[in-house]
Amino acid sequence: MNDGLDLSETLATLVGFATESRHSNLALIDWCAQRARDAGGAVTILPGEPDRANLLARFGPERVGGVLLSAHTDVVPAGEGWSSDPYALRVDGSQIYGRGTADMKGFLAAALTVIAGQDVTSFGRPLYLALSYDEEVGCVGVRGLLEHIDHANLQPDLVVVGEPTSLRPCVAHSGKIAYRITVMAAAGHSSRSRRQPSAISAALGIWAAIDDLQRREPPSIVARRPGPRAISTNIGTIVAGVGLNVLAPYCTFDFELRSSADLDADALLEPVWAAVAAARAELAPHAGDVVVEELHRYPGMLTDPDAPLMADIVRLAGADGPGGIDYGTEGGLYAEAMPATVVIFGPGDIADAHRPDEFVDQRQLGGSESFLRQLIGQLL
């Protein structure tokens, strides 16, 4: 046990690392590694993609069981529209502003602060801290981290994935598949549109099929379970055409499907692939084609609300029961990789993340610290 860390100062330091996705997180990883060593942790840094790394620290005995606290180190780009420097913590009343305060360096700051105040030699079971990179762009780094955990045969009883849930334990979230589709056609004069398809006109049927997915009743839903809406789709970007009087020779768009864990996402997409086949058939006589590229995917999560330790989690959080979230997390990958009870929990509201003037409420930040301290005291 060392002299401890101050929660606000720890969060300020973490926010000061501008760990935007696909940029280096090594400075933050090194800083957290030193804090973990100071607290008596056995630290492993796992290099990943260039200039990025995961971290796994163990506190307490090397044995089966225990608790794993999971956090991602990356944040979405700050962008424009901030009232102050997004990478310098600003406090206004009860609100603490800065990129990543809600998603999800607030949870990480609470975890580091609580761990620093423990006598880890007294633990009967291990406590793990797992930090990943590039979660915001498809849960990239955590896959290598999970491979290491599997090879090391680590078997925690409970995984707490720190995401902004307003301090409500959540047991369900959507999975996601993302694709890029490129439609190619022959360029031509716009007056020929009735005789020759453009890339944009051929894409219309695919767009309609994507949008229709979220308007149809899904084939099966787990009724009355905490969790997100069953299906949602979004076409996020479109790049197409060269001019108003030219039949568009190309149309590239990215889309995503989010679906609850009880649904087969690949089966849901069959109408989209039928529309892609129809577009190919329309374009083939005009030397056109459609190319589909999967960008990334991660599974949904659906932990049994009656799973081991869930009653303790709900009680310690002061919640009236577990909930579910509409956005994705690394929780589904943890649930696939190990038999542990996996729960999503953390300070902040997702509505305040990914936007200018992101903030976390000081009371929720303190509540997260209190929850983790009680959790460690009871389970370890």
Q: What tokens does 17 get?
A: 């690392």
DSSP-derived secondary structure letter, 299? -
pLDDT score recorded for residue 5: 87
pLDDT band at 231 (very low <50, low <70, confident <90, very high): confident
DSSP 8-49: HHHHHHHHHS--BTTS--HHHHHHHHHHHHHTT-EEEEEE-S
Q: What tokens does 76 get?
A: 């979405």
Alpha-carbon distance 37 to 150, whole Å?
Answer: 23
When pLDDT is averaged across residues 143-151 and rounded to a whole number, the result is: 96
The residue written with tokens 């009087």 in the block is 245
When pLDDT is averaged across residues 125-147 and rounded to a whole number, the result is: 96
Alpha-carbon distance 299 to 261, whole Å?
Answer: 7
pLDDT score recorded for residue 222: 43
> Is a pLDDT exceeding 50 seen at residue 87?
yes
Q: What is the pLDDT of residues 239-287, one digit of tens each?
A: 999 999 999 999 999 999 999 888 889 999 999 999 999 999 999 999 9
Average pLDDT, the chain: 94
Q: What is the pLDDT of residues 19-43, one digit of tens each?
A: 999 999 999 999 999 999 999 999 9
Angle, CA of 251, 134 and 141, to the nearest 5°: 115
CATH topology of domain 7-173+300-379: Aminopeptidase (3.40.630)
3 state SS of 302: strand
- The residue count of the chain comes to 380
Closest CA to 173 of 25, 4, 334: 334
pLDDT score recorded for residue 224: 41
The residue written with tokens 């590229």 in the block is 293
Q: What is the pLDDT of residues 167-194, one digit of tens each?
A: 999 999 989 999 999 999 999 999 999 9
Alpha-carbon distance 324 to 303, whole Å?
Answer: 10
> Is a pLDDT exceeding 80 seen at residue 151?
yes
What are the residue boundaries of the structural domains of the chain, listed by start? 7-173+300-379, 175-298
When pLDDT is averaged across residues 42-67 and rounded to a whole number, the result is: 97
pLDDT score recorded for residue 326: 84
Architecture of domain 175-298: 2-Layer Sandwich (3.30)
